[in-house]
Amino acid sequence: MIATPRLKLRKFAPEDLDALFTLLRNEAVNTFLPWFPAKSRADAEAFYLERRENPYFFAVCLKQQPEPIGYIKASDDESHDFGYALRREFWHQGITTEAGRALLEHLRGCGVPFVTATHDVNNPRSGGVMQNLGMKYCYSYEEMVQPKNFPVIFRMYQLNLDGKNHPVYDKYWNQSPHHFIETDIRSNS
């Protein structure tokens, strides 16, 4: 478990499936995520089962209540992709930033060298979270979002955790024929 002043980050458990379903079925929460809102508790269970082995996938809980109000994660692949979702009634309270800082410190302690994160250009608040966490904008690219099957322009951010100057993670750049660098993105440099 990882503790912050307001939160506990812990592994999901089977008894969290109802809370996870509440999060995943909300259309507003899932607008910018690469899947459709969950239609059933079985959808939430499949989501949980696909991610339960990831050592960097955590339930976000308020300290005073045991049930999750969201999740935060980094993928355990080469991108170390950072992501999150939070129930709508908890938006705009700094919870994702607080949980993100705690996860980044945990990842640093685990020897993860860097994280990447992407957000849809139509979701600039997500980019604000990334910037608040010290991530640097690197480039933008277009991708067909699956299974929703429509094109999205994503902004890709990176944060080096180990103090080394890692090259920019360029997999998305290389996969997309439509990629570019925006010059008007607020920078943390």
Q: Would residue 52 count as lying in a domain?
A: yes
CB-CB contact of 68 with 158 (8 Å): no
Which residues constitute the domain of residue 14?
A: 2-180
Per-residue model confidence (pLDDT) at position 119: 95
Q: What is the CATH number of the domain that holds 158?
A: 3.40.630.30
Q: Would residue 132 count as lying in a domain?
A: yes
**pLDDT tens figures, 114-135:** 999 999 999 999 999 999 999 9
Distance set, CA 63 to CA 6, 7, 67, 93 (Å): 6, 5, 10, 15
Confidence (pTM): 0.91
Tally of domains in the chain: 1
